[in-house]
Structure formats: C-alpha cells, structure tokens
Amino acid sequence: MPANGNTTCEQRETAPWSLILLLVGAGVVASFQVGKVPPMLPFIRMELGMNLFLAGWMLSIFSITGLVFGSVIGAVADAFGHRRFVLWGLVCQAAASFLGSLASGAELLLLTRVLEGFGFFMIAAAAPAMIFRITPVCHHRLALSVWSCYVPAGVAVIMLLAPLLEFRFGWRGLWQANTVILLAYGFWVMRATRGIVAFRGGKPLPWKTVFENILFTTTAKGPLLLSAIFGSYALQWLTVMGFLPILLMEDHGLDPATAAVLTAVMVAMNMPGNLAGGWFLQKGVRRWQLISVASLVMGLCSLAIYSPHFSFAVRYGACLLFSGVGGLIPSSVLSGASIYAPSRNLVAATNGLFIQGAQFGQLVGPPVLGLMVSGAGGWHVAPWFLGSSAALGVMLSFWLRAFSRSK
C-alpha cells in the first residue's frame, strides 16, 4: 500500500532522509528520558533512600502511561494530527524532567517519570506514522528499521554522557539539561515541519469514531500478536539493561562511571540488530523467523549473564550478544505496523498498541526481578524469569507464522 496517494515504488522516488532523520531524532531525545535513569540510579537511591524494589519502579513506572493508554494515544494522534502530538510530547517531557529535578522525595520523582512516559508515548506513536506518510512504499522497511533504532540510540548516548554530567552537575543537573534539549529540539521540529502538506492535521474525528478505531485496532489479531511479542522482548531488554550497572558494580566491583559506559555499549549493540532486521526483511526473510531466532538467543544469553560460574568476559559478552541479536525484534515488529494495521489510517493506533505491549513488559520486568533477587539473595534467579519470557516470544512467533499464512 502506498505511503500516500502520490507516492509509489514505480516512481522510484528517493526517501526524504533529512526529514526522516529529524523525526528519528525526536525519538532519540525522547529516549534520553529512558536512559538517564540507570547510570544515575545508585546516586538517586543514596540521596532519596530508595530500596531495590523502588529502584525497579524508577525504571519501569515510565511505562505505565503507555500500558494504560498506548492504543488510545495512537488513535487520538491519528484523529487530531501526528505533528501536534510529537511537538506536545517533547514539551510534556521537558516540563516533567524539570519538575523531577526539584524532587525532594521518591514520590514526586516517580510521578514525573509517569509524565515523562506520557510525552514519550505521544512521540513513539505519532513519529513513525509521520515517517510512513512521507516515505515511498519501497523504502518503508528501511525507514522504519532506522526509526526502530531510536530507543537504543537515545539510551546509549545519554548513558555515555551521564557520568560526565553527574560528576559536574549531579543527577538533578542532568534532568535540567534534558529539559533544555527537549525544548530546543521541539522548536527545531516545529520550524522544519511547518507547512508540509502530509503533516497537516485534518478536521478532528468525532470521539465516537476515535473509540471505534481503538476497538477496531485492539481486536485485530495481527497487531495483538505483534504487541505481545514486543512485550516479551521489552521485558527482557529493559530488565537486563536497567539493572546492568548495579550487577557490574556488585558482582565485578566496577565503579559507577565504568559500569555506565559498559551498559551504554551493550545498549548501542541493539542498533546494528535493528538495522539488520530491516535488511533481512528486505531480503525476504520472514518476520516470524527473525523473532523466533532472536527470542531463543536472548533466552540462552540470560543463562550466561547471571551465572556466577562464568568470567566477566563471558558474562559481558553474553550481554552484547543478547542486545545485538535481540535488536532484530523491534525492527520486525515496528515495520509491521503498516502491514498489519486494520487500515492505512490506523498506523499510529497500531503503533500505540505495540507500545502498550512493550510497556506491559517494561512495567512488569524490573520490579519483579528486583523482588525476586531481593528475596533469593542473588541474581541466580534471573534466568528463570527472563528465560520464560524468551520462550513466550518463540511460541508467539510460531503463532504469527500461522496467522500470516491464513491472511
């Protein structure tokens, strides 16, 4: 299906990569708000007196808005304008980050994380729909695989910068720096996308139609399957990434700065996997095949990551493989939005449903693992939890295979 009425593969148009990359950048700066917490978590815990369970919520409560309102946010974005949603999402995150920098206790900081999450999901649902509208159909897989890099790119960049900023300004200064970055980027997007016909919001749809679209999307089998797959992946990835600095410090005696850099490298390894997923899909590899292989590898890697019997090199190498091969899943899922969406007007709603699945995994993963580790007195219980999620991903990939054949 063409991206819009005037764009077809036969026209052999080049994709507007400068504009696509600008929109990907909005996702990257939004993802700074995901990645700024793990390297700062030890300092926040000390200052605000958080236990490991509350620390897990610092990582995962960001996801609560997407869990509850993911498909709603996407449907409303489809109805009221994707550009507006991206801009307001950046503003929402900026305001929440500034308020978080003023927090004197865990309660306010957790609340601002919810607001940061709300802004993030506005961008995550609307920006790929904007990319879909301006990209020729023959470039969709590549453009959306580039978009799928936005989380690891943003997380890796901010995790590399965080130790430098924390040393000079503290975690509160890092939160305030993000406020400035988000507002500045929002202004850039506003200026660069002004007057583009494809981004003009039409007449808002009646609320009845919006809710019908939500129901239509959330009951469609293809989007539901991909949403569940994304959830099983996100549970594993955020849980491993979020606790990796603490694991490296506790089990291997690394200092916080070194642990943050090694975690950023692990996160960055996800990007080649994202791009490889788009390349494999372009070459004809089936979506379900990429998902099943990646899920299996992630499950096996979790055995090595948390085993005290392996050396640091083996455990950290397993982290890199976990993230790199796991990167095949986001590009496989997100590039499926335009294919599995119930209609071409519901791409953002479908993305919102994918987000909803991912946020369920991210919300559940860190607190549950934190509780299990605290109760068992060690990380050795982690593979049981993460391996079960990986096995679910494999099973869902075969279900997706059966569904795709029946279409």
Return the axis-axis angle of helices 140-147 and 106-134, rounded to nearest 10°: 170
Q: In one letter, which amino acid is 142?
A: L
Per-residue CA distances from 365 to 9, 91, 237 (Å): 41, 28, 9
The mean-pLDDT minimum among 16-25, 238-247, 310-319 falls in: 238-247
Determine contact, residues 301/322, Cβ cutoff 8 Å.
yes
Torsion of CA 183, 189, 191, 193, to 10 degrees: -160
Of 35 and 406, the structure prediction assigns the larger pLDDT to 35
Confidence of residue 89 (pLDDT cuts 50, 70, 90): very high
Structure tokens at 146: 């580039």
- Quick check: 2 pLDDT over 50? no
Cross-strand pairs, 218: none
Percentage of the residues of the chain whose pLDDT score is greater than 70: 90
What are the pLDDT digits (tens) for 274-283?
Answer: 889 888 988 8
Structure tokens at 379: 């990380």
What are the pLDDT digits (tens) for 330-362?
Answer: 989 988 877 887 777 677 778 778 888 888 887
- Quick check: 387 pLDDT over 50? yes
Confidence of residue 1 (pLDDT cuts 50, 70, 90): very low
Torsion of CA 67, 69, 75, 76, to 10 degrees: -150
Name the nearest CA neighbour of 400 among 333, 338, 342, 345. Answer: 333
Classify the C-alpha dihedral 207-208-209-215 as positive or negative.
Answer: positive
Return the axis-axis angle of helices 221-252 and 312-326, rounded to nearest 10°: 160
Classify the C-alpha dihedral 134-136-142-145 as positive or negative.
Answer: positive
- Quick check: 263 pLDDT over 60? yes
What are the pLDDT digits (tens) for 30-49?
Answer: 999 988 887 788 788 888 87
Ramachandran bin of 13, using left for φ above 0, alpha for ψ from -120 to 50, beta for the remaining angles? beta
CA distance linking residue 71 with residue 83, whole number of Å = 17
Of 338 and 382, the structure prediction assigns the larger pLDDT to 382
Per-residue CA distances from 202 to 77, 85, 86, 196, 269 (Å): 11, 14, 16, 13, 40
User: What is the mean pLDDT of the segment spanning 145-168?
Assistant: 81
| 3-state class (DSSP) for residue 203 | coil
CATH architecture of 15-406: Up-down Bundle (1.20)
CA distance linking residue 96 with residue 116, whole number of Å = 6
Could you give the angle at the alpha carbon of 111 between the alpha carbons of 107 and 116, nearest 5°?
A: 145
Under DSSP, the state recorded for 377 is T
Q: In one letter, which amino acid is 358?
A: A
Q: Which residues of 383-392 are buried (b: 16+ CB within 10 A; e: fewer)?
A: bebbbebbeb
pLDDT of residue 210: 67
Classify the C-alpha dihedral 164-169-174-179 as positive or negative.
Answer: negative
pLDDT of residue 206: 61
Of 68 and 297, the structure prediction assigns the larger pLDDT to 297
pLDDT of residue 184: 97
pLDDT of residue 292: 95
pLDDT of residue 152: 83
pTM: 0.76
pLDDT of residue 209: 67
